Structure 1
């Protein structure tokens, strides 16, 4: 059965790039472009993994992750241009599984996803 991944990312170029790479690997992809819609989708549907941006309209990624963790333990990879030690530690304290800094290599993200879902 195809694994389902939710991408919560407001930069269309990034979400479309990830979608293209992931669909080539036979993943089923949903995309939401803001934190509010993304959180609702993540709670209402079952996903094998969530890719979550930090800075976006509505709820930011930290808030989405915190609220998601109250209800589900779906693996989460955070993508962010914010690479400060405090931001990274905060994400891990909230329960993120991986924190990847932008810019990133789509191939590296795919490798991490495959490792997490193996």
Structure 2
């Protein structure tokens, strides 16, 4: 049984989320503040974390950032904040998805299922590619590791999957819609603009000069390609 952590200070909402998940075969725990949420989140007991942004003790953005530095499990932000800047910040700190309150129980469960399934597929599969080498970049797809000039770099699940896909299809141009469909899938509730946010984060982690990338190029008005 998959184990989900809900970090939410509104007990009524937290209990509803817990009920939704348990009815669909998940085990769920609740943390009512940021400090206890971080401690539980880093325990290694959970397959996915759902986190609110406005929390006592430690805010959700900080939580996402600190958890992501240690763990690669899917993180879903659930918040009443609906501005684009909040979503961009959430993705920037390492969240895999962003769900705006109010939401339906079906949508919450669908996103949880989708992220856990995709995470298991990514981390559990044996890739035929093996290891990809390119200009100081080494991607070991079997071990799910990335090295840049010998230094290990940690990517989020989506960042890693996006980089592997592009590097496995060098010199082919993909637009945002194509990458969105390939990486996030048809059952994901979101927008193709997410692709640009994730590519920006990848560049900050792997490029010497993110403003002039040598790996993932932007072809303005067309899309992106891995330069090989």
- Relative to the length of structure 1, the TM-score reads 0.95
Structure 2 partner of 1:69 = 68
Q: CA shift at 1:84, angstroms?
A: 1.1
Partner residue, 1:39: 38
Q: 1:26-84 CA deviation, whole Å, 9 max, x = no partner?
A: 11111100011000001123211000000011101000011111111110000111111
Q: Which residue does the alignment assign to 1:113?
A: 112
Bigger Cα Rg:
2
| Counterpart-to-counterpart distance in 2, 1:100 and 1:70 | 22
Alpha-carbon distance in structure 2 between the residues aligned to 1:25 and 1:9: 20
- The alignment partner of 2:42 has SS state of helix
Q: Secondary structure at the match of 1:51?
A: strand
| Cα distance in 2, alignment partners of residues 45 and 35 from structure 1 | 17
Instruction: Kindly indicate whether residue 90 of structure 2 is the aligned counterpart of residue 91 of structure 1.
Output: yes
Taking structure 2 as the reference length, the TM-score comes to 0.50
- Superposition deviation, residue 85 in structure 1: 1.2
Q: CA RMSD in A?
A: 0.8
Point out where structure 1 has 5 or more consecutive residues left out of the alignment.
Answer: none
Match of 1:59 in 2: 58
- Where is the helix percentage greater, Structure 1 or Structure 2? 1
| 2:94 matches 1:81 | no
Moved over 4 A (4+): none
- SS of the equivalent of 1:79 reads strand
Structure having greater relative contact order (Cα 8 Å, sep ≥ 6)? 1
Matched, 1:18 2:11: no
Alpha-carbon distance between aligned partners in 2 of 1:63 and 1:87, rounded to the nearest angstrom: 13
